[in-house]
Chains A and B, each alone.
Chain A
Amino acid sequence: MSTDNYVNFFQEKQGRKGIWTWLLSTDHKRIGLMYLYSIMILFMVGLTLGILMKLELIAPGRTIMGPQTYNGIFTLHGIIMIFLIVIPGLPATFGNFFLPIMIGAKDVSFPKLNLFSFYLYILGALVATTSQFLPGGPPDTGWTFYAPYSFKTSTNMFPAVLGAFILGFSSILTGLNFIVTIHRLRCPGMKFMKMPMFPWTLYGTAWIQLLATPIVGITLLMVIAERFFHIGFFDPALGGDPVLYQHLFWIYSHPAVYIMILPAMGAISEIIPTFSRKGIFGYNALVVSTMAIAIVGYFVWAHHMFTSGLSMVAQFTFSLLTFLVAIPSAIKVFNWVATMYKGSINVQVPFLWALSFIFLFMIGGFTGLVLGAVATDIHVHNTSFVVAHFHYIIFGGMGFAFFAAMHYWFPKIYGKMYSKTPAIVGWALFFIGFNILYFPMFILGLQGMPRRYYDYLPKYASLNAVSTIGSWILAIGFLIVVINLIRGAIKGPKAEANPWEGKTLEWTIPSPPSLENFEEIPEIS
């Protein structure tokens, strides 16, 4: 290939000018990057809110804000982090950018629909944001919007719910697009069982997005009908049942956890073999476990509700199924570690993020067993133990995988390389800060400190202070990582087309890729 007349996708304007080359582009790579930048900006907002919460909790009593503000902040932190960051997360960013390339396609099946999904995402984000500024004040229900408190509060719960409703459609359409793309656009020879793990996990995720997300749409419509037409679905004052709301909410929101974690597992399944310089161990087992998680993950939602007075049969069944859904995750961990066996391991920045992912994900997974067993769940339910657990899974899992993917695919996206030393220093501070921040919350939870507490008894003070200090270390690490990446994208040295010696298709094309990715559609033998 001649490099003289090579035009990469950043240079290809498609006849548009200025900002319109981005805003109207149907190129999956530009859309992926627009998601990436939106998510990174929102992540900084969510992180700042989290740090403010931890600062308030550094000591008992009032530190920097009143209880109403605190309740508004943890609600907004949850809405931003869950609905705007971790659910779109890897599929919308790296999925959009790399799914077509990894299966040898020029774009997704429906490029315009893809851009429409992005604008639904932006619209949902804007609508949810208005809830902060309208009279009535920021919503204070928590991101779960539990009835009947969410009907009773005088704050702006409606725009937040409507925002989540719109974001749901964005998610459904992305899922639909990916399913069709994977079925229809794989290059010749790319059989399903030859597809790399990242597309496989996106496939499992897309089915969850398509099948589970409508439930949240229906639920939110019922909330709206109840709020404006006083039809009593959930509010006992109108003859409704608040527990019905919890069922519907978790029928979506538990599978949503797998929307978050599956693509993260997919990215790790790409990174570990690349830096071990060998193929993934147990490909078939990884594929089967991906689909097993996607399917069994639908049937465990009520483990969020063991204290709500479910029947004994329901408690027994949901607890048992929760233990079964843990098995495919364990199989994945074993296969990742086995991939390193007899490899020739090149410890680079993405590999460090991947290793720390496995460690943090294991802690998140094991503490999930505590929440799956009924007796122990009853004790730690709604305590800071749960908060620690899901931050280990979502932030330690999905978040670390996101940064692993970011450092892995960065040279492909930008054709440039970041500096290694600040990347490692940033990662180390991030990892250490993370554990200091969240590990004490396991202990606090076991000692009985409830979550969503603005104030707490003096006996919980010292561990809360430790946790707050961890949040500062994490924040410094985060800043170093992000600044280093931005600097690399602007003035990093030129990267080779395949700096990590990766085996998947994205490493066979120049960096940054051209508009249509491949000059000729590749063939897999």
Chain B
Amino acid sequence: MYSTTDASNFVAGVDTAFYIILGISGVFLVAITVVMLYFVYRYNKKRNPVPTELHGSNTLEIIWTVIPTLLALLMFYYGWKGFYPQRYAPKDALAVTAVARMWSFSFEYPNGAVSNDLKVPIGRAVRVNMKAMDVLHSVFIPDFRIKTDAIPGKNNFIWFVSGKKGTYDLFCTEYCGVRHSYMNSTVNVMADADFDKWYKENGEQGATAGGTAVPGAAGKKIMEQKGCIACHSSDGSKIVGPSFKGIYGENVTVVTGGKDRTLKIDEEYIKRSIIDPSADVVKGFVAGQMISYKTELNDKQIGEIIEYIKTLNVK
């Protein structure tokens, strides 16, 4: 039903609109420019010392009003035709939620699987629902010719069927602050069997089962999925927020309500920083950059994160 061999089922319709608009425009651009330059040459004062006064022509005005209007309506029609199906996702589409936050994406699947790239099966309809956590973002997949804004409090979506295996760029195209240009991901179009295998292995149970083996592994995974690592490194480098390397148990100067004070980084402080990030901001960093993760993480997950941060103290 949605069979296509293109990167997405919308490529053909959108590209047709591009060819028609740019084609007609190109012909007019060249024709008008050539005529204009010819007039400058032919009616130069050397060749044509005496101008002929012409005040206008109703016939010409009608011709060059009606023809461009008809062409404009033609272009409008193809623009509309290429777009129309983008707003009607089939009911049986695989529903993925794109969680957009400053400054990373994560993709949540119906069975609880979470991924940092958008993994989709080839030839099947996929609907991606936008969920913006803080400010405006936008999901743009150039090769698929689709884009929509992620707006807090609104339920925008994109949908597509991809007919070509491969990896495609996915960008945030709505300016969202200092790391906007690093807020990108990829779409990974997989063979059906490969996707199903990944999907089964990464459901809710799969994720926790795999996480208990190594200390901190579950916490690390949560931090990747929730976008923490977009701003906090684990190798000591400063991105937007403090790095987690070797901080556990250390003393740090924080700004609380405009005043400096020193405190020890312990479990309680880490938890407070996740739930109320602007309460005690490490000196040298800007308050208000991070949203509260109160509704995003439960106590067990915060515990896993703390376990992971503890492992970063090992030399």
Contacts and interface: CB of A to CB of B under 8 A. Distances in A.
Interface of A: 67-68, 71, 140-142, 146, 148-149, 152-154, 236-237, 241-243, 276-279, 281-285, 307-309, 312, 315-316, 319-320, 323-324, 326-327, 330-331, 333-335, 337-338, 340-347, 355, 358-359, 362-363, 366-367, 369-370, 372-379, 381-383, 446-448, 450-457
A241 B132 CA distance: 13
Nearest to A442: B22
A237 B153 CA distance: 9
B178 A68 contact: yes
A67 B152 CA distance: 24
Interface in B46-100: 48-57, 60-61, 64-65, 68-69, 72-73, 75-76, 78-83, 86-87
Contacts of A149: 135-136, 175-177
8 contacts: A152-B135, A307-B138, A340-B43, A369-B25, A372-B76, A374-B79, A376-B82, A452-B181
Nearest to A306: B83
A312 B180 contact: no
A327 B138 contact: no
Contacts of B33: 359, 362
Given A362-B33, A370-B18, A375 B13 contact: yes
B54 A341 contact: yes
Interface in B145-198: 145-149, 151-156, 169, 171-182
B51 A344 contact: yes
Interface stretch (B34-42, B223-231, B293-301): B34-42
Nearest to B132: A236
A473 to B, nearest CB: 21
A282 B56 contact: yes
B14 interface: yes
B267 interface: no
Given A243-B154, A334-B64, A343-B51, A67 B82 contact: no
A330 B68 contact: yes
Given A326-B68, A340-B39, A366-B22, 13 more contacts: A140-B177, A154-B288, A276-B43, A282-B61, A283-B56, A320-B76, A345-B40, A366-B21, A374-B83, A376-B17, A376-B18, A376-B82, A450-B173
A339 to B, nearest CB: 8
Contacts of B26: 366
B87 A312 contact: yes
A343 B79 contact: no
B140 A382 contact: yes
A375 B147 CA distance: 10
- Which 7 interchain pairs have the tightest Cβ spacing? A373-B79, A448-B142, A375-B82, A366-B25, A374-B83, A453-B181, A236-B152
B175 A309 contact: no
Interface string B6-29: 000010011001100110011011
Contact of B68 (A152, A312, A327): A327
Contacts of A307: 138, 147-149
Contacts of B60: 282, 334, 338
Contacts of B87: 312
Nearest to B35: A337
Contacts of B14: 375-376, 378-379
A141 B56 CA distance: 48
Given A309-B156, A319-B76, A450 B45 contact: no
Contact of A331 (B65, B78, B172): B65
Contacts of B65: 327, 331
A309 B43 contact: no
B265 interface: no
A67 B179 contact: yes
Nearest to A326: B72
Given A68-B178, A343-B39, A373-B80, A309 B171 contact: no
Contacts of A309: 148-149, 151, 154-156
B276 interface: no
Contacts of A345: 39-40, 43-45, 48
Contacts of A341: 39, 43, 54
A308 B135 contact: no
Contact of B182 (A315, A335, A451, A455): A455
Given A358-B36, A373-B17, A448 B140 contact: yes
B152 A237 contact: yes
Nearest to B48: A344
A370 B22 contact: yes
B61 A373 contact: no
Nearest to B135: A149
Contacts of A452: 175, 180-181
A278 B39 contact: no
Interface core residue of B83, B143, B176 (most chain A CB under 10 Å): B83
A198 B54 CA distance: 20
B32 interface: yes
A316 B80 contact: yes
B263 interface: no
Contacts of A447: 142
Contacts of B28: 362, 366
